[in-house]
Structure 1
Amino acid sequence: MTDTNKGTAVVTGASSGIGAIYADRLARQGYDMILVARSRDKLDAVAKRIATETGRYVHVLAADLNDRQDLEKIEQVLRTDSTITLLVNNAGFGAASPFLQTDMDWMGQMIDLNITALTRLAYAAGQAFSERGKGTIVNISSIAAIASELLNGVYSASKAFVLTLSQSMSKELSDKGVRVQAVLPGATATEFWDVAGLPHANLPQDWVMRSEDMVDAALAGLELGEVVTIPPLQDGADWATFDGARQELSGKFRHKIPGGRYLTTRSAA
């Protein structure tokens, strides 16, 4: 047990996989925990193990974040519990099948969880942390946010949303004492792949990172002050180059006249 008290961390999707490992690691760092997921039985098992091994207080909240009442319940906790200093926005799911071969209702649920629920929780935490002058929000994105052709397009788009939101929130909230980090895992050995329809055992095994290693790398990135952490990226300078090029390009959009290639086409017409 650690005597350090860093406040309370809220982890969504905490009943298994990445979320459960985040809960374990954060408790060992000195956080009390609020664990959120749909399965009360699985949450109770995770909570019991973490509390026994770390001595931290661990509370569970069974909630389906695609249910508006359940989502509002978690938002209210984030707004009113002044001990909360960290949110890990981890709940989400994906699909590996092509866009036109994936059920639209399934993709709609993906949007609701990966985008709407995550945004509402980030908003609630962002408001509360800004008022208190401190706090950290960790949003779990994916390398699919950048490598959009890898998996289902809606999944990739949802994770691109998470990346963009996190970068914007970081810029907006940093002077209010709020840190925001986007974590972009690559292929990670979790149940995610079973739900997505492509078990990770079917992937090249030199691509697949242990979930413990992914979370430890993400927490190391947070400690280093990174806004964007990509655990499988071997050279961090590659991200700096990519993001620098993006920012440089964005400075070239301030023109009231269309690009010459469009004017030439229009004149010819």
Structure 2
Amino acid sequence: MSTALITGASAGIGASYARRLAARGYDLVLVARSTGKLEALAADLRASHSVAVEVLTADLTNATALKAVEDRLRSGGPVDLLINNAGDSLPGTFATAKPDDLDWLIQLNVTVPTLLASAALAGMLERGEGSIVNIGSVVGLVPEYFPGIYAATKSYILSFSQGLAAEVGPKGIYVQAVLPAATRTAIWDRSGVDVASLQNVMEVDDLVDAALVGFDLKEGVTIPPLADAALWNAFETARRALPPSFANAVPAERYRTKA
């Protein structure tokens, strides 16, 4: 039996992943702050799918709690699939955000998934197989559309996923970045946005079902709402065409001082 550890598993995208993976026969380790919600979900999944479900209550921005989850990944039973889903946003703009809140968001959206992937990777490399799924956002590609640093943190998730895939993919480890657009989760309330005011909001189960299709196809990047895959392919082709042009020992002509 494979085991998946899911962060932010008590509701929304994380809970949907838990239901879908339990239906696939995965044993689960569910991580979130709400013990009651986790226990209720765990009981339902055990009864519905006869899988083993472990509950870890953890505020991942707390160093002690984060270390407990890292320890579970490093030295507990093997975890074959890590779903780095926990994340959040802030209301307002960069100019109005408090420094402590900015630090908190970077911890949750950047530091936590990085350290958990590191903790999971050692065992995966030893076994020669495993998967890491990082939940990003399309706003990481278009940061000018979303105020504050949320888009920057999600841009990191994409870059981190692609770099990690290049490093460990040849060693049997699959890394997937999932980039949702507007999805009906509680993050909108915490962002100070009324989700009812938005158009074309995807339902959570539809998002996760699409992400799992991408997972089965072993896509490096899965963008569930993107109807025209050629747009992403063209973007990636253009990006990959850049590196040879970086190999210049002198500045480009347009940056040279004119006499």
Q: TM-score, with normalisation over the residues of structure 1?
A: 0.93
Alignment of 1:3-152 (within 5 A): 5=1, 7-152=2-147
Q: Matches of 2:230 and 2:75 in 1, distance apart?
A: 40
Matches within 5 A, 1:162-181: 162-181=157-176
Is the 1:188–1:209 Cα contact (8 Å) retained in structure 2? Answer: yes
Q: Which residue does the alignment assign to 1:267?
A: 258
The whole-number CA distance in structure 2 between the counterparts of 1:153 and 1:131 is 39
Q: Which amino acid aligns with 1:242?
A: F
SS at match of 2:241: helix
Q: Name the amino acid aligned to 1:136.
A: S
Shift of 1:150: 1.9
1:186 aligns with 2:177: no
Distance of 1:65 and 1:135 partners within structure 2: 22
Aligned length: 259
| Post-superposition CA distance 1:171-195 (Å, at most 9, x none) | 1001111000000000000111111
Establish whether residue 222 from structure 1 lines up as the match of residue 215 from structure 2.
yes
- SS of the residue corresponding to residue 36 of structure 1 reads strand
User: Aligned partner of 1:253: which letter?
Assistant: F
- Cα offset for 1:81? 2.7
* C-alpha distance after superposition, 1:239-258 (max 9, x if no partner): 11101101101221110110
What TM-score results when the alignment is normalised by the length of structure 2? 0.97
Q: Which residue type is aligned with residue 255 of structure 2? A: Y
Instruction: Name stretches of at least 5 consecutive residues in structure 2 with no aligned partner.
Output: none
- Structure 2 residue corresponding to 1:249, chosen from 239, 242, 252: 242
For residues 91-124 of structure 1, the C-alpha deviation after alignment (integer angstroms, 9 at most, x for no partner) is: 0101352211222222211100000011000111
Which amino acid letter does the alignment assign opposite residue 232 of structure 1? P
Provide the residue aligned with 2:155 in structure 1: 160
Q: Percent identity?
A: 45
34-43 or 104-113: bigger deviation: 104-113
TM-superposed CA distance for 1:197, in Å, is 1.1
- Partner of 1:139, secondary structure, is strand
Residues 112-143 of structure 1 deviation map (CA, whole Å, 9 limit, x = unaligned): 00000110001111222111111000000000
Deviates more, 1:89-98 or 1:11-20: 89-98
Alpha-carbon shift at residue 147 of structure 1 (Å): 1.2
1:96–1:151 contact (8 Å) kept in structure 2: no
The SS at the match of 1:243 is: helix
Runs of 4+ residues deviating >6 angstroms: none
How far apart are the structure 1 equivalents of 2:228 and 2:217?
15
Q: Return 5+ residue gaps in structure 1 as ranges.
A: none
1:240 to 233, 251, 256: 233
State how far apart, in whole Å, the 2-side matches of 1:201 and 1:104 are. Answer: 30
- 2:196 is matched with which residue? 201
> What letter corresponds to residue 229 of structure 2 in structure 1?
G
Matching residue of 1:258 = 251
